[in-house]
Amino acid sequence: MRIISVINYKGGTGKTSTVVHLAHGLALLGQKVLVVDLDPQGSVGYYLGLSPQNTVYNLLIDNTPYTQCIVHARPNLDVICANERLYPAELAMGQFRQKEKVLAERLGTVSGYDFIILDCAPSMNLLNQNALFFAREVILPVSMEYLSLVGVKQLLNNIKIMNRIFRRDVVVTKVVPTFFDKRQAKSKHVLESLTRVFPGLVSSPIHANVALSEAPGQRQTVFEYKPNAKSAEDYIKLSREVLDHDQA
Ligand SMILES: Nc1ncnc2c1ncn2[C@@H]1O[C@H](COP(=O)(O)OP(=O)(O)OP(=O)(O)O)[C@@H](O)[C@H]1O
Ligand SMILES: [Mg+2]
């Protein structure tokens, strides 16, 4: 089972869109996938049209068994949703012993999935530390803006620090260029910089595509809303690249 945090401290870089489409893409390719939303914005459940009874709040704070928090979203795709109740959860978790390990403890016995994919909020908070403690891999969506590169360096530093403190070996397996527009010189420059910083890790890009921004309004992924859209093609390609990633 591969456990992947999709994270970037910068907001609006396409994290949630990447989580939803990578998860659905992998599910369409026959993989069993569980998504865990760790962002109080709760966008994953909104995207997929879910109305959960229990959320990740109940899992983390009330110690509700994960089986009672999982909702079935699509064939091969299950989700543990989040909502705004997760904001105060941070405070409550701050009092726990081994507060960085709560998520790993609660989900430690999950089985039957090929992938667990975590959607992270754009900040370096306790929930994200929990995500980095539980995950073994990081996927980093980076929008084609010059300022994105600054956030990437901060995140890499934090992963190094977490690895040292907790004796972990979390690795960045993919850097995903998002909002790519080949007509813009900026897109090309940022992509070149990423390829220099992450040789061999940069995935094929996700193009800026209006269908992708419309799909959540229909509570659908782009594979359902406009399967012929460029972004549908891009995200299936990314799903294949992640699936093929050599784990050795
Ligand atoms: N490739 C794309 N083309 C066009 N619109 C996109 C693309 N990727 C994401 N969007 C849109 O941009 C907005 C931000 O995307 P998303 O929510 O995935 O980012 P995020 O990194 O999860 O944001 P946050 O930091 O707030 O969690 C959304 O409205 C989404 O539909
Ligand atoms: Mg998000």
Per-residue pLDDT of the chain (248 residues; tens, 9 = 90+): 999 999 998 899 999 999 999 999 999 999 999 999 999 999 999 999 999 999 999 999 999 999 999 999 999 999 999 999 898 888 888 888 899 999 999 999 999 999 999 999 998 889 999 999 999 999 999 999 988 888 888 888 888 888 898 888 999 999 999 999 999 999 999 999 999 988 999 999 999 999 999 999 999 999 999 999 999 999 999 999 999 986 54
Neighbours of ion ligand 2 (CB under 5 A): 15-16
**Residues near 101 by beta carbon (within 8 Å), at least 6 away in sequence:** 130, 133
Among 16, 144, 204, name the best residue to mutate to test ligand 1's pocket (greatest count of ligand atoms within 8 A of Cβ).
16
Using a 6 Å cutoff on CB, does residue 208 contact ligand 1?
yes
What atom in ligand 1 is closest to the CA of residue 141? Answer: 21
Using a 6 Å cutoff on CB, does residue 15 contact ligand 1?
yes
- Whole-prediction pTM value? 0.96
> What does the pLDDT read at residue 155?
86
> What does the pLDDT read at residue 158?
86
> What does the pLDDT read at residue 248?
42
State the Cα–Cα distance between residues 136 and 134, nearest whole angstrom.
7
> What does the pLDDT read at residue 124?
82
Using a 6 Å cutoff on CB, does residue 113 contact ligand 1?
no
Q: Whose CA is nearest to atom 28 of ligand 1?
A: 213
Q: Where are the domains of the chain?
A: 2-244
> What does the pLDDT read at residue 171?
92
State the Cα–Cα distance between residues 135 and 117, nearest whole angstrom.
9
| Ligand that comes closest to the CA of residue 22 | 1
Class of 2-244 in CATH: alpha beta
> What does the pLDDT read at residue 246?
65
What atom in ligand 1 is closest to the CA of residue 39? Answer: 27
Which regions of 59-208 does DSSP assign to beta strands (E)? 71-74, 77-80, 115-119, 137-143, 171-178
